[in-house]
Amino acid sequence: MLLVAVRKGDAVAAKKLVQLLAPKAHALAWRMLGDAAAAQDVVQDALIKLLQADHFKGEASITTYFHTIVTRLCLDRLRVLKGSPFLPTEDLDVLEISDDGSTNPQHRLAQSQQAQSVQQALMALVPRQRVALALWAYQDAQATDIARIMGLEVNAVHQLLHRAKINLKHQLGDNHGTRP
């Protein structure tokens, strides 16, 4: 197992583990927090927690377990920020996330504006909805995985996703000056 090799000091295994876990975890944390630097901090903290975790038995995949750590660290940060007026301060670099090969500047601008609208709407959701939706939409997590990560029942995840989708649609409608 990769984690065991890392704990034994294998530098090559450590690099592989980071390459396996960090990109998706960073994307998840960024979607939840709206700040790339904060997301990077969370991923680094999560990697440290993963390496120190003695209770990981391999019952879930290492990715699911790691996403659980990242999600909980993000929720902790969001709880601290709850009282402050928090909006993402970064512009979304849509070209890093989905480059369809288009060189049309107008098309890229439209993509960027749409991605910014989605991110702003996502940030307006309550943290639990944001977590569930980010895992489902951006990490391709199934309800069972989300339930395990968030410590919920599968039925509760389905309800949470349903409410999150409705609220996201409402936020997107508000962001575009229309109401659904």
- What pLDDT is stored for residue 109 in this prediction? 67
- What pLDDT is stored for residue 47 in this prediction? 93
- What pLDDT is stored for residue 92 in this prediction? 37
CA distance 105 to 109: 6
pLDDT in tens, 51-105: 887 777 767 788 888 988 998 898 888 877 654 444 343 433 333 334 444 456 6
- What pLDDT is stored for residue 164 in this prediction? 92
pLDDT at 12 over 70: yes
- What pLDDT is stored for residue 81 in this prediction? 65
pTM over 0.75: no
CB 134 within 8 Å of CB 46: no
CA distance 49 to 69: 8
CA distance 79 to 128: 11
- What pLDDT is stored for residue 18 in this prediction? 92
Exposed e or buried b per residue across 105-126, where buried means at least 16 C-beta atoms within 10 angstroms of its C-beta:
eeeeeebeeebbebbbbbbbbe
| pLDDT classification of 111: cutoffs 50, 70, 90 | low
Please name each of the domains of the chain with its CATH number: 1-84 (1.10.1740.10), 105-180 (1.10.10.10)
Tokens of 154: 């599968």
pLDDT in tens, 121-162: 888 888 889 888 888 887 888 999 899 888 899 999 999 999
- What pLDDT is stored for residue 54 in this prediction? 74
- What pLDDT is stored for residue 82 in this prediction? 58
